[in-house]
Amino acid sequence: MRLWVLAGIAAAVTALAVLGTVLLLAGRDPDLPVQTTLPDIQLVDHTDQPFSLAQARGKVVVLGLVYTHCPDICPLITYRMQSIKDQLARQGLDSGVLFLTVTFDPERDTPEALRAYIAAHNLDTRNWRFLTGNPETIASLTELLGFYTERVSPVGQSAGAATGGSALDIPYFITHSDRFYLVDKLGRVRASLPGSRTDVEQAVRLIRRLTQEAP
Amino acid sequence: MTRYLLVTLLLLLASCQPAVSGPVTTTPAVTVKDPWARPAMAGPMGMTSAVYFVVVNEGPDADALIGATTDVAGRVELHETRRRGDVMEMSPVSEVEIPPRGQVTFQPGGLHVMLMDLKRDLKVGDSFNLTLRFRKAGDIKITVHVREGGM
């Protein structure tokens, strides 16, 4: 029964995300309906400190999902988030906004790996936490958001199937959704942005709207 | 005296002639423009990087990029990212055809040269050598600059 409920929520979130993405790509600002509420899950940040998503309540959150072995799309998503962060800072809005990037490859993305990623891309981590954690916990988050992930080996086979054992035995990449999310001060997902294709100016306008809402 | 002036004049004229002997230089059919790579860290975490550039083929025949090598990575592959709805999937490609009198752009979200098992950090501002192997044009060595960049 619980599985059916989760699947229903994920399907609804996906439908809203697709609709929102279509509007965003068409250059129109969408309404910001509540899509789902983030669970109060426990994660670990890039400084090895525990972090609960509940700690983000009271702030608007820009929530990204990446993995550090991704050479192509995830850096673009991170690059877009950094551009949004820079724009918000220029407009004096950054103090009310928290940036969170959660890895969907927690087996490899330890806090140390997240620090290496931050250093490689020279990211400003003021108001920005990079998070990892228990694989099941993170899988529950991606399922809730309808965020697709699938491990593939470099030769295009399923990594788990290719090894017949631990998927960490061989290098693998992850086929994944290209999105990030805007979350309101109450922890509710209100918009799904088209990841690497996000229009920075439009994202800043939507974030501004969310910051102006009463908590 | 007249003979001396004539010889001097002939020598001066000869020195102004273009060289007609030795190898004839021609413009290569395939050239590579604007190479750059994403920053990434080496080490046990094993980050990956991607290299982007534009291949221009000014010749009358098609060519193909069939591989690449560099001493900054233990493994180098040609890859392509494709969009399926909002899902991005990446897969290796064995070769990339470069059409005659055309060009192919390797860019974020599309074709790229993947660098795995990095031997050293690639930091913004660094550069490194990469050899691209073409079926007809042979090896072309390029210098790749490390920087951030979007689509």
pLDDT in tens, A110-135: 999 999 999 999 999 999 999 999 99
pLDDT above 90 for A190: yes
> What is the average pLDDT across B59-87?
95
> How many residue contacts between A and B have a Cβ separation below 8 Å?
102
Q: Is B80 helix (H, G, I), strand (E, B) or coil?
A: strand
How far does CA A119 lie from the centroid of its chain?
A: 19
Q: Is A212 helix (H, G, I), strand (E, B) or coil?
A: helix
pLDDT above 60 for A165: no
Measured CA to CA, the distance from residue A101 to residue A63 in angstroms comes to 6
Give how far B122 is from chain A: nearest CA, Å. 8
Pairing of strands A97-103, A128-132: parallel
Measured CA to CA, the distance from residue B88 to residue A150 in angstroms comes to 10
Residue A140 to residues A29, A47, A133, A147, B52, Cα–Cα distance (Å): 29, 23, 12, 10, 35
pLDDT band at A166 (very low <50, low <70, confident <90, very high): very low
pLDDT digit string, tens, across residues A3-13: 565 555 556 55
Instruction: Report chain A's mean pLDDT, rounded to a whole number.
Output: 85
Residue B143 to residues A108, B88, B134, Cα–Cα distance (Å): 31, 29, 17
pLDDT above 50 for B119: yes
How many C-beta atoms lie closer than 10 Å to residue A76's C-beta? 25
> What is the average pLDDT across B61-72?
97
pLDDT band at A215 (very low <50, low <70, confident <90, very high): confident
pLDDT above 90 for B24: no
pLDDT above 90 for B140: yes
In B, what residues contact A, Cβ < 8 A? 38-41, 43, 45-50, 77, 79, 81, 83, 86-92, 108-109, 112, 114-116, 121-124, 148-151
Cβ pair A75:B86 closer than 8 A: no
The pTM assigned to this predicted structure is 0.81
Taking contacts as CB-CB distances below 8 angstroms, the residues of chain B near A75 are 38, 108, 148
What pLDDT is attached to residue A5?
53
ipTM confidence:
0.76
Can you spell out the DSSP letters for A123-186? Answer: ---TTEEEEE--HHHHHHHHHHHT--EEEE-TTSSBHHHHHSS-GGGS--EEEEE--EEEE-TT
In A, what residues contact B, Cβ < 8 A? 17-18, 21, 68-73, 75-76, 79-80, 83, 108, 110, 112-113, 116-117, 119-122, 148, 152, 154-156, 171, 173, 175-179, 194-197
**Quick one: tokens of A159?**
């990594």
Among B47, B86, B108, select the one facing A72 at the smallest CB separation.
B108
Which of B86, B94, B116 should we substitute to test contact with A (largest number of A Cβ atoms within 10 Å)?
B86
Q: Is B16 helix (H, G, I), strand (E, B) or coil?
A: helix
Taking contacts as CB-CB distances below 8 angstroms, the residues of chain A near B124 are 122
Cβ pair A112:B39 closer than 8 A: no
